[in-house]
Chain A
Amino acid sequence: MPREIITLQVGQCGNQIGIEFWKQLIKEHGINNEGILEEFALQGDDRKDVFFYQADDEHYIPRALLIDMEPRVINYIQTSQFSTLFNPENIFISKDGGGAGNNWACGYSQGERYQEELMEMIDREADGSDSLEGFLMLHSIAGGTGSGSGSYILERLNDRFPKKIIQTYSVFPNQNETSDVVVQPYNSLLTLRRLAQNADAVVVLDNTALNRIAVDRLKIPIPTVSQTNSLVAMVMAASTTTLRYPGYMNNDLVSILAGLVPTPRCHFLMTGYTPLTIDRHISSVRKTTVLDVMRRLLQTKNIMVSTSTKNGNYISILNIIQGDVDATQIHKSLQRIRERKLASFIEWGPTSIQVALSKKSPYIETSHKVSGLMLANHTSIHSLFDRILKQYHKLRNRNAFLDQYKKEAMFKDSLDEFDESRECLESLISEYKAAEQKNYLDWGNDDNMRIEEQQ
Chain B
Amino acid sequence: MPRELIFVQVGQCGNQIGMRFWDLALKEHAKAKQSLLYDESLSSFFRNVNSKNQELKIGDPIQNLKARALIVDMEEGVINQIMKSPLGELFEERQCINDVSGAGNNWAHGFYHYGNQYEKHIEERLRKTVEQCDSLQCFFMTHSIGGGTGSGLGSRILGLLEDNYPEVFRFTASVFPSGDDDVVTSPYNSLFSLYELAKHADCVFPIDNQALINIVDQIDKPNKARLVKENAHEGSVGIKITQFGEEEKRQKPFDKMNSLIAHLLSHITCSMRFEGALNVDLNEITMNLVPYPDLHFLISSMAPLYSLLDSKLQPRRLDQMFSDIYHPDFQMITGQPSLHKYLAVGLLVRGDVAFSDVNRNIKKLKDQLKMIYWNQEGFKYGICNQPPIGQQYSMLCLANNTCIKDTFQEMTDRFQKLYKRKVYVHHYKQYMEQSHFDETLNGIQNLMVKYQDLEMAQPKKYQRIQPIF
- Measuring CB to CB, which residues of chain A are less than 8 angstroms from any residue of chain B? 12, 16, 70-73, 75-76, 93, 95-99, 101-103, 144, 174, 176-183, 207, 211, 214-215, 222-226, 228, 391, 394-395, 397-398, 400-401, 403-404
Contacts and interface: CB of A to CB of B under 8 A. Distances in A.
B92 interface: no
Interface of B: 1-3, 40, 134-135, 137, 275, 277-279, 281, 283-284, 286-293, 344, 346, 354-357, 359, 362-363, 366, 373-381, 383, 457
B374 A394 contact: yes
B292 A400 contact: yes
A181 B288 contact: yes
B374 A400 contact: yes
A403 B90 CA distance: 38
Contacts of A72: 275, 279
Contacts of A177: 363, 366, 376-377
Given A99-B281, A222-B354, A183 B288 contact: yes
A174 B374 CA distance: 17
Q: List 10 tightest A-B contacts by C-beta distance, closest first.
A: A101-B283, A400-B291, A182-B288, A97-B135, A225-B277, A394-B374, A179-B377, A222-B354, A180-B381, A102-B284
Given A72-B279, A397-B374, 5 more contacts: A96-B135, A182-B375, A182-B378, A211-B355, A225-B383
B3 A391 contact: no
B364 to A, nearest CB: 11
8 contacts: A103-B283, A103-B287, A179-B377, A224-B277, A394-B376, A395-B375, A398-B374, A403-B293
Contact of A400 (B1, B135, B375, B377): B375
A12 B292 CA distance: 27
A25 to B, nearest CB: 22
A394 B375 contact: yes
A397 B457 CA distance: 12
B134 A97 contact: yes
A70 B135 CA distance: 11
B42 to A, nearest CB: 14
Nearest to A403: B293
A93 B135 CA distance: 13
Contact of A97 (B1, B279, B293): B1
A178 B377 contact: yes
A223 B2 CA distance: 31
A139 to B, nearest CB: 15
Nearest to B346: A182
Nearest to A208: B359
Given A97-B1, A177-B363, A178-B359, A404 B379 contact: no
A433 to B, nearest CB: 23
Contacts of B1: 71, 93, 95, 97
Contacts of B366: 177-178
A222 B357 contact: yes
Contacts of A174: 359
Contact of A98 (B137, B292, B457): B137
Given A177-B366, A222-B357, A101 B281 contact: yes
Given A70-B3, A177-B366, A400-B374, A98 B283 contact: yes
A180 B366 CA distance: 13
A401 B287 contact: yes
B275 A76 contact: yes
Nearest to A399: B292
B135 to A, nearest CB: 4
